[in-house]
Structure 1
Amino acid sequence: MEKCLLLSLILLFFHFPSFSSSSSFNSSLCHHDESFALLQFKSSFTIDTPCVKSPMKTATWKNGTDCCSWHGVTCDTVSGHVIGLNLGCEGFQGILHPNSTLFNIVHLQTLNLSNNGFYGSYFDSKFGRFTSLTHLDLSNTHVGGEIPSQISYLSKLQSLHLSGHYELVWKETTLKRLVQNATSLRELFLDYSDMSSLRHNSMDAIFNQSSLISLDLTDCELQGPIPPSFSNLTRLTFLSLAQNNLNGSIPSSFSNLQNLIHLYLSGNSLSGQIPDVFGRMTKLQVFYLASNKLEGQIPSSLFNLNQLVDLDCAYNKLEGPLHNKIAGFQKLIYLRLNDNLLNGTIPSSLLSLPSLVLLYLSNNRLTGPISEISSYSLEYLSLCNNKLQGDIPNSIFNLANLITLCLSSNNLSGVVNFQDFTKLQKLDSLSLSHNSQLSLNFEYNVTYHFSQLTKLDLSSLSLTEFPKLLGKLESLDLSNNKLNGTVSNWLLETSRSLNLSQNLFTSIDQISRNSDQLGDLDLSFNLLVGNLSVSICNLSSLEFLNLGHNNFTGNIPQCLANLPSLQILDLQMNNFYGTLPNNFSKSSKLITLNLNDNQLEGYFPKSLSHCENLQVLNLRNNKMEDKFPVWLQTLQYLKVLVLRDNKLHGHIANLKIRHPFPSLVIFDISSNNFTGPLPKAYLKYFEAMKKVTQVKDDDSLLYMEMMLSYRADNTKGNVSYYDSVTVTTKGIKMTLTKIPTMFVSIDFSRNKFNGGIPNDIGELHALKGLNLSHNRLTGPIPQSIQNLTNLESLDLSSNMLTGMIPAELTNLNSLEVLDLSNNHLVGEIPQGKQFNTFTNDSYKGNLGLCGLPLSKKCGPEQHSPPSANNFWSEEKFGFGWKPVAIGYGCGFVFGIGLGYYMFLIGKPRWFVMIFGGHPKRRVNRRT
C-alpha cells in the first residue's frame, strides 16, 4: 500500500510539474491570450538602456514559447495564469495607454514596472482591475495625473510603491478609502507625490493603519503638525516624513515606536527642543533631523543608542556643549552636527569612536584645542568655521583613510610641516584657510606629491611663497596671501581652477600652451601693471577669467572675444583704453562681461549681439560715445545692463519686436546725454520686472550666481561667481557685491529726457528702485505708481513735474526713500503711513507745496491745484490781464534766452544756488 502511494505521488509529480516552485518546465501552462497580451505590451514601447547592468528580461520573450518560462514572468502553478510581472529597470520608453494589453492580465498578484520611462502617461483607472494585487510598484516611472478612486479596489494590497512622482496628485477621499480597504497594507511608499490638498483626518487614516511596517511620505507637501495618531504605528520599522512643511514640536509619543530602525524627519519646519524620548528606541539605526528649526541641547538619550549607525542633526539651532562621555555610538559611522550653535570643546570620546567614518561639526561655535584622534576609520573630518584653538594634532597625520579634511576659519596656530600632509595619500580635499596664526613650513627645492588631492584651500594664511605640487589638482585657492612677483607658468599649470586674488603679484609670465587645461583663473585685486599680453589666449580652455581691480593699461586683446569656452570675463577697475573687441563669435558662451571703470571709448560692437547667453553687461564709467545699442534688446537672458557714466546720446529708438529685454531686472543708463521721451515700449514690456519674486520661508536672500558647470569629462566641479554692481538707491551710492535676485531697479537719472512719465511704469510690480531724477520731465506724477507696492526708493527730483502729489502714493508701504524736490508740484502733501516718515528734503524746491513736514500751512484754496482762470483773475491781481500778458511775454523771451545760455555752459553752481538747488547734489553729478 505504501509503495502504491509513493508511486502515485511520483507519477503525480511528473504529470503536474507546476507544483514545483518554478512554472517554466511545462510548455502547456501559459494561456495563449496572456502570452499575446504580454508580447503586445512589450511591442508598445521602445527599449532603451536598462538602469542596471544585467540582460534585459524581455529579451527572452519570444512568440511560440511558453510565457511562463520568460524572465520576469511568474505563473500560477495550478491555473497557469500569469500572476507576477517583474519588469523594473527594463528600459521601457513610451506612453502606458489606457487600452494597453497589460490590463487584460487580470490575475496579477505582483506588478513591478519601476524605473521605466512612461513619460506623458497617466495613472489609469484600469489599475483597479487588478483586484488580486498584493504588491504594486510604479515608482520612478514618470506616470502623472490624479490617482483614480479605483485604486481603493485593491483591497489585498500589502505593498504599494509610488515613489518619485511629482506629477501624481492624491485626493483626500481616494487615499482615505484606500487605507481603509487595504487592511493588510504593510509597505506604503508615496514619497514625492502631491498631497497638498490632504487634511489631517486623511493622515489619521494612514496612521491608524496598524499593520504598516514601512511608510514613506517624503516630499509630499504635507503641512501642519505631526498628527498624534501616528503613535498607533507600533510595528513600523521605517518612517520618513522628510522634506515636507510640517511644523510644531516633535511629539513625545515617538517613544511608542520602539521597532523603528529608520526615522527621517529632516527638511521640515519642526521647532522646539528634541524630546528626550529616544532612549527607548533601542533598535534605531538611522535618525535624520537635519534642516529644521530645532533648538536647545541634544538630549543625552541619543548618545546612548548602541545600534545607531547614522545621525544627522545638521542645519538647526541646537546649542550647548556636547556630552563629554558617550556611552553608545559604538557602531556609529556617520555623524552630522554641522551648522548649529554648539559650543564648548569637542569631547575626546567623540574622536575615538571605533567605527566613525564621517564627522561633520563645521559652522558651530566650538572652542578649545582639537584633542588627539584615534578614530582611525575616519574618512571625512570637517571642523571648519568654529573657534578652535591651538596646534593641529599630530594624530591627524595617522588617519591613513582620510579623504576630506577641513580645518579652515578657526583660530589654529603653530607651525605645520606641509610635508606631513603627503602622508595622507587618500586625501582628496584639504582646507586650512583663514587661520591667521597658523604657519605652513615649506621646504625649498622640494616638489610635494599628492596622488589623490583635487582641492587645496590655503587662503588667508599670510603665505609669501608656494611650492611646486605634483598631482591632479582641480581647485587651488591661494587668495588673500602675500604672494608677490611674477605669476609663473608652473603655477598656472598646477590646477584647473586657480584663485590668486588679493595678493601682491605685479606681472604674469608669457603664458605657454602647456597651461591650456586651466579653466578658471582669478587674479583680481593684485598689483598687475602694463599691457595684457595676447598670450592670455593660450589658455584655450578658460571658462572664467577675473583680472579686475588691477592696473592694466592698453587695449583689451581682441582674441578674448573668441575664446571658445569663456563664460565670465571680468576686467573691471583697470585702466584699459581703446575700443571694445569687435569680433565676438556666434558660438560665444559669455554669460557675464564686466568692463566697468576703465577708459574704453568708441562704439558698441554689434557682434555683442552674438553672445546669446549674456546675462550681465556692465560698462559703467567709461568713455563710450555712441547711441543706445538697441540691438541688445534681442538678448533673451540679459538680466543686468549698466551703461551709466559714459557719453551716450540721442533718442532711445524702439525696435518693433514683441518682447524687448524680457529678462532685464537692472537697467541703469544714468549720467549720459540721452534725449527725447522715456522709452515707453521698454517700460511696457519689461516682463521680468513685472514678476515679483517671493521671499523664502527662512528670509534668506538668493543671489544672482553664475555657475560654471561640469565639463563633459566630469573632471571639474562647479565654480560659482557672484556678479557685483554699483547702483544709486535710496539716495546712496552703494556696491552690491552680490546681487539679490529680488533687486529690481531702473535708473534713468542725469540725462535730458523730456515729456511725461508713462503710465505703463505702474505695471513693473517688482521694482525696488526707480530713479528718474535730473531730467526735463514734465506733466503730473502718474497715479499708476501706486501699484509699485515693492518700491523702496523713488527719486523724481530735479525735473519739471507739475500738479499735485497723488494721495494714492501713501499706499506704498515699502517706500523708505522719497525725493520729489526741485519740481513744480503744488497742493497739500499727502499724509499717513510711510509719508509721515519723510522730511523736508523730500519736497524742497516746490514752491506750491504746503502741509507737513513743510512749515508752510495750506489755505483752503491750496487743497486743489490752481486753475488757469484763477491765475488770470483781475480780482486777484488788482489789474487786468493785458498788462500781465505783455510783461509775461517779454519775460518769457528773456527767460528762454537765459535758460538756453545756462544749458550751454552747464548750469553753473551760482545759478543753481540762486534758484533753490542743492549745491552738493548738483556738483557731485556722478552718484
Structure 2
Amino acid sequence: MSSSLVTLSLRDNGLRGNLTDGVLYLSACGFQGSIPPSFSNLTHLTSLNLSANKIESELQSTLSNLQHLIHLDLSYNKLEGPLPNNITGFSNLTSLMLYRNLLNGTIASWCLSLPSLIDLDLSENQFSGHISAISSYSLERLSLSHNKLKGNIPEAIFSLVNLTKLDLSSNNLSGSVNFPLFSKLQNLGRLNLSQNNQLSLNLKSNVNNSFSRLWSLDLSSMDLTEFPKIIRKSRVPNWLHEASSSLYELDLSHNLLTQSLHQFSWNQLLGYLDLSFNSITGGFSPSVCNANAIEILNLSHNKLTGTIPQCLANSSSLQVLDLQLNKLHSTLPCTFAKDCQLRTLDFNGNQLLEGFLPESLSNCIYLEVLDLGNNQIKDVFPHWLQTLPELKVLVLQANKLYGPIAGLKTKHGFRSLVIFYVSSNNFSGPIPKAYIKKFEAMKNVVLDSNGQYMEISTLQSENMYSDFVTTTTKAITMKMDKIRNDFVSIDLSQNRFEGEIPNAIGELHSLRGLNFSHNRLIGRIPQSMGNLRNLESLDLSSNMLTGGIPTELSNLNFLQVLKLSNNHLVGEIPQGKQFSTREEGFGFGWKPVAIGYGCGMVSGVGMGCCVLLIGKPQWLVRMVGGQLNKKVKRKTRTRSNENGSRMN
C-alpha cells in the first residue's frame, strides 16, 4: 500500500481468486474509522470496494489521485458531510456507488459530469438542494432516491439517451414535467418518480407507443389529481392503454384514482401490479384472466365490488393476492390450483364474503399468510390448514365460524404458525391444547435485533410486498403495517371457549401477546405463564377465573399490559419487579374493585375493574414497523440485480 506498510493480514476472510495489483475488494470486513490517505498511493488500482463496513468521516478528495480507477464502491458505510468539490480525477470512472451513507449538502457537480460514468447511485443519503446540470451522457443507471432533493427535474435528464434506469423517488421534487418527455429515453426500462407529491406530471392524452422498453413504472404516492383532464378527474391514466405491452411492474398505489376497474387494460406480461389505497370502483372484468403471468396483485383499500374471479385462484404464478378492505361479496373461489404458488392471501375486511372455506386451499403448500378476517364466513374450524408447512399467519377473526377447535391429523400441525387470530367468532369447547403443543415456531423464535419483516418480492422487481395484519378487540383496533419475523401472538377472545387454561401455554416462550378475554374460562391462572418471559400484553379479562394471581407473573420483565378484570380472582397482588413499577406517565395503577378494598387486594367480585398498565406496549412500538402510508418498500440491494434492463 505504501513504503511504510509493515503488516497486512487478511486471514480468515474467505477471500478467493487470483491476487492482482489492480483490484482491492474489502467489502463487509468490519473496518471502522476513515479511509487512510495512503490509499491515494495505489495509483494502479482499477477497482476499489469498501462497501458494507463502518467507515466514517468525510469522503477524501485524495482518492481522485487514483487516475486508473474504474469502479468505486463505498456504499453501506457511515460517510458523512458534503462531497468534496475539488475532485478533478476519475476520468475513467464508470461506476460510483455511494448509497446508504450519511452524505449531505448539494450533489457536487463533478459527480454528474464524469465523462465515462455508466452507473451512479447516490440514493439513501441526505443530499439536499436542486439537481444540477447533468453532462455524463454515458449514464445508463441513475439513482438519486431517498434524499431531500427539491426543485424541478432538470431538462438535461431527457438528453441521457442511454439511460435504462432512472430513480428519483422519495424526494421533495416539485414543478411540472411533461411525462411524454421520458419517451425520448428510448432505452429506459425502469422509471420511478414515486413519493414526490409536489411533482405534477403533465400527461398528454396523445402519447404514442414510444415506451418500447419500459417494463417497470412506479408513480405511487404522487397525488395524481394534478394530471390534466384525465387525472384531474381521478382516473386511471388512459396512456397506460397505449403503453408498451412489455410492462411488467406497475405501481400506482396511494393516489386518488376513482375509475372503474373495468377500464383497466390487463397486460399479459404484467407480473407486479399495485393499485392499493385508491378509490377504484367496479368489479373485475373477464380480461383479468389474461394476466396469466401476474405474481403480486395488490388491489387493497379500494371500493371494488362484485365477486372474486375464479381464474385468480386457478393461477399457477400468483404469489400474493391482496383484496382486503373492499366491498367484494358472494363466496370465496371454489377451488385453488393444484400447483398453487400463493404465499399471501388476504381478503380481510370485505364484510360481505360468506359461505364455506374451500378445502382446496390446502393445495397452496407455500402459503405463509392467510387473512380472511372481518367477513361473513360460516363454517367450522379449518383443521386441514395444518397441512400447510409454511403457514405463519392465520387470521380468521370476526366471522361466523363455530364449533370446537379440535382435530390433529398430522404430526407437525401448524408447526410454523406465529400469529393465530380467531377472535370474535362462535367457537366453543376447550382451549385447543393439542394445537398449542404443536405450535413449534412459537416456542423458539429467535429475537430479531435487525428488525426483519415478512416480505415478498418477485425475481425481477425492486419493490417488495409487506404483509400486515389488523387485530380488533373491544378496546382497540391495531394495525401492523409490517409484521416482524419475531412477532408472536395469539388472540382467542370474544368466543365461547370454556374449561381451564392449559398449562401447555407456558411452553410458548416466544409469545409477545396473548388474549383469552371474553370467554367462559374457569379455574386458576396457570403458574406456567411465568415462563412467558417475552410476553408484553396479557388479557384474561371477562372470564370466570378463580384463585389468586400467580407470583410467577412478576417475573415477566417485558409485560406492559395486564388485564384481569371481570373475573373471580382473590388474594394479594404480587409484589416486586414489574408489579412494583410506578411510571406515572404510563397510567400505572390498580383500580379498586369495590369500596373498602385497597390497592393491595383483589376482590372476588366479578364486576370490578382490575387492569394494570405498566408502560407503553412495546409491540406497538417495536413490532409495528415502517411507513404508515405505503406498504411497499425497496428490495435489499444486490449488485447482480442492480441494472436497468429486465432480467431474463
TM over 0.5: yes
Mapped to 1, the partners of 2:238 and 2:326 lie a distance apart of 18
Q: Which residue of 1 aligns with 2:219?
A: 458
Mapped to 1, the partners of 2:102 and 2:204 lie a distance apart of 39
Deviation at 1:707, TM superposition (A): 2.8
Q: Which residue of 2 aligns with 1:306?
A: 67
Tell me if 1:523 matches 2:275: yes
Mapped to 2, the partners of 1:493 and 1:238 lie a distance apart of 46
Q: Which residue of 1 aligns with 2:118?
A: 357
Residue 693 (structure 1) aligned to one of 430, 446, 450: 446
Residue 499 (structure 2) aligned to one of 739, 743, 755: 755
Q: Which residue of 2 aligns with 1:915?
A: 607
Tell me if 1:741 matches 2:485: yes
Partner of 1:505, secondary structure, is: coil
User: 1:663-702 residue pairs with structure 2 within 5 A?
Assistant: 663-695=416-448, 699-702=449-452
Cα separation, partners in 2 of 1:848 and 1:294, compared to 1, 3 Å: farther
Q: Which residue of 2 aligns with 1:642?
A: 395
Mapped to 1, the partners of 2:244 and 2:131 lie a distance apart of 35
Residue 535 (structure 2) aligned to one of 770, 773, 791: 791
Q: 1:788 corresponds to which letter in structure 2?
A: L
Q: Which residue of 2 aligns with 1:705?
A: 455
Identity %: 55
Q: 1:789 corresponds to which letter in structure 2?
A: R
Partner of 2:360, secondary structure, is: helix
Q: 2:358 corresponds to which letter in structure 1?
A: P
Q: Does structure 2 conserve the Cα–Cα contact (< 8 Å) formed by 1:493 and 1:515?
A: no
Tell me if 1:344 matches 2:105: yes
Deviation at 1:274, TM superposition (A): 3.5
Q: Does structure 2 conserve the Cα–Cα contact (< 8 Å) formed by 1:413 and 1:439?
A: yes
Q: Deviations over 1:266-288 (max 9, x none)?
A: 22443333344433443433322
Deviation at 1:486, TM superposition (A): 8.5
Q: Which residue of 2 aligns with 1:71?
A: none
Q: Does structure 1 conserve the Cα–Cα contact (< 8 Å) formed by 2:490 and 2:513?
A: yes
Mapped to 2, the partners of 1:507 and 1:404 lie a distance apart of 31
Tell me if 1:602 matches 2:360: no
Q: Which residue of 2 aligns with 1:831?
A: 575
Q: Which residue of 1 aligns with 2:300?
A: 548
Tell me if 1:329 matches 2:329: no
Residue 576 (structure 1) aligned to one of 293, 305, 328: 328
Q: 2:84 corresponds to which letter in structure 1?
A: H
Mapped to 1, the partners of 2:173 and 2:481 lie a distance apart of 29
Q: Which residue of 2 aligns with 1:889?
A: none
Q: Does structure 2 conserve the Cα–Cα contact (< 8 Å) formed by 1:462 and 1:482?
A: no
TM-score by length of 2: 0.83
Tell me if 1:813 matches 2:564: no
Deviation at 1:689, TM superposition (A): 1.0
Deviation at 1:778, TM superposition (A): 1.6
Q: Which residue of 1 aligns with 2:378?
A: 625
Mapped to 1, the partners of 2:94 and 2:11 lie a distance apart of 23
Residue 418 (structure 1) aligned to one of 173, 179, 192: 179
Deviation at 1:723, TM superposition (A): 1.5
Residue 338 (structure 2) aligned to one of 586, 599, 617: 586
Q: Deviations over 1:748-781 (max 9, x none)?
A: 1111211111111111122111111111212222
Residue 407 (structure 1) aligned to one of 128, 145, 168: 168
Mapped to 2, the partners of 1:403 and 1:517 lie a distance apart of 19
Q: 1:637 corresponds to which letter in structure 2?
A: E
Mapped to 2, the partners of 1:449 and 1:441 lie a distance apart of 17
Q: Deviations over 1:807-841 (max 9, x none)?
A: 22222222221222222222222222222237897
Mapped to 1, the partners of 2:204 and 2:420 lie a distance apart of 53
Partner of 2:259, secondary structure, is: strand
Q: Does structure 2 conserve the Cα–Cα contact (< 8 Å) formed by 1:352 and 1:375?
A: yes
Mapped to 2, the partners of 1:387 and 1:307 lie a distance apart of 32
TM-score by length of 1: 0.59
Cα separation, partners in 2 of 1:490 and 1:326, compared to 1, 3 Å: same
Mapped to 2, the partners of 1:487 and 1:760 lie a distance apart of 59
Tell me if 1:557 matches 2:287: no
Deviation at 1:803, TM superposition (A): 2.2
Q: Does structure 1 conserve the Cα–Cα contact (< 8 Å) formed by 2:218 and 2:251?
A: no
Cα separation, partners in 2 of 1:396 and 1:555, compared to 1, 3 Å: closer
Deviation at 1:510, TM superposition (A): 6.8
Q: Does structure 1 conserve the Cα–Cα contact (< 8 Å) formed by 2:202 and 2:227?
A: no
Mapped to 2, the partners of 1:438 and 1:488 lie a distance apart of 18
Residue 235 (structure 2) aligned to one of 481, 484, 503: 484
Deviation at 1:636, TM superposition (A): 1.6
Q: Which residue of 2 aligns with 1:802?
A: 546
Q: Which protein has the larger Cα radius of gyration, Structure 1 or Structure 2?
A: 1
Mapped to 1, the partners of 2:264 and 2:167 lie a distance apart of 33
Q: 2:81 corresponds to which letter in structure 1?
A: G
Q: Does structure 2 conserve the Cα–Cα contact (< 8 Å) formed by 1:729 and 1:769?
A: no
Mapped to 1, the partners of 2:417 and 2:402 lie a distance apart of 21
Q: Which moved more, 1:325-334 or 1:360-369?
A: 325-334
Mapped to 2, the partners of 1:416 and 1:555 lie a distance apart of 39
Q: Does structure 1 conserve the Cα–Cα contact (< 8 Å) formed by 2:590 and 2:610?
A: no
Cα separation, partners in 2 of 1:439 and 1:673, compared to 1, 3 Å: closer
Deviation at 1:511, TM superposition (A): 7.2
Q: Which residue of 1 aligns with 2:127?
A: 366
User: 1:250-261 residue pairs with structure 2 within 5 A?
Assistant: 261=22
The unaligned stretches of length 5 or more in structure 1 are: 1-206, 221-236, 240-259, 468-477, 710-715, 867-911, 920-927
Q: 1:379 corresponds to which letter in structure 2?
A: E
Count of aligned pairs between the two proteins? 600
Q: Which residue of 1 aligns with 2:143?
A: 382
Partner of 2:562, secondary structure, is: strand
Q: Does structure 1 conserve the Cα–Cα contact (< 8 Å) formed by 2:249 and 2:273?
A: yes
Cα separation, partners in 2 of 1:719 and 1:849, compared to 1, 3 Å: farther
Residue 414 (structure 2) aligned to one of 642, 657, 661: 661
The unaligned stretches of length 5 or more in structure 2 are: 612-648
User: 1:427-446 residue pairs with structure 2 within 5 A?
Assistant: 427-446=188-207
Q: 2:57 corresponds to which letter in structure 1?
A: G
Q: Does structure 1 conserve the Cα–Cα contact (< 8 Å) formed by 2:348 and 2:371?
A: yes
Mapped to 1, the partners of 2:363 and 2:580 lie a distance apart of 50
Q: Does structure 2 conserve the Cα–Cα contact (< 8 Å) formed by 1:499 and 1:523?
A: yes
Tell me if 1:317 matches 2:78: yes
Mapped to 2, the partners of 1:845 and 1:602 lie a distance apart of 46
Mapped to 2, the partners of 1:391 and 1:571 lie a distance apart of 36
Partner of 1:801, secondary structure, is: strand
Q: 1:701 corresponds to which letter in structure 2?
A: G
Q: Deviations over 1:457-478 (max 9, x none)?
A: 33344445989xxxxxxxxxx9
Q: Deviations over 1:654-673 (max 9, x none)?
A: 23432211111110111112
Q: Does structure 1 conserve the Cα–Cα contact (< 8 Å) formed by 2:145 and 2:171?
A: yes
Deviation at 1:627, TM superposition (A): 1.8
Mapped to 2, the partners of 1:451 and 1:492 lie a distance apart of 8
Mapped to 2, the partners of 1:525 and 1:742 lie a distance apart of 27
Q: Does structure 2 conserve the Cα–Cα contact (< 8 Å) formed by 1:690 and 1:766?
A: yes
Partner of 2:390, secondary structure, is: coil
Q: Does structure 1 conserve the Cα–Cα contact (< 8 Å) formed by 2:530 and 2:555?
A: yes
Q: Does structure 1 conserve the Cα–Cα contact (< 8 Å) formed by 2:218 and 2:252?
A: no
Q: Which moved more, 1:443-452 or 1:795-804?
A: 443-452
Q: 2:455 corresponds to which letter in structure 1?
A: E
Q: Deviations over 1:571-590 (max 9, x none)?
A: 21122233222222323222
Mapped to 2, the partners of 1:769 and 1:331 lie a distance apart of 57
Deviation at 1:735, TM superposition (A): 0.6
Mapped to 2, the partners of 1:849 and 1:332 lie a distance apart of 81
Deviation at 1:704, TM superposition (A): 0.9
Q: 2:106 corresponds to which letter in structure 1?
A: T
Mapped to 2, the partners of 1:842 and 1:667 lie a distance apart of 30
Mapped to 2, the partners of 1:595 and 1:635 lie a distance apart of 19
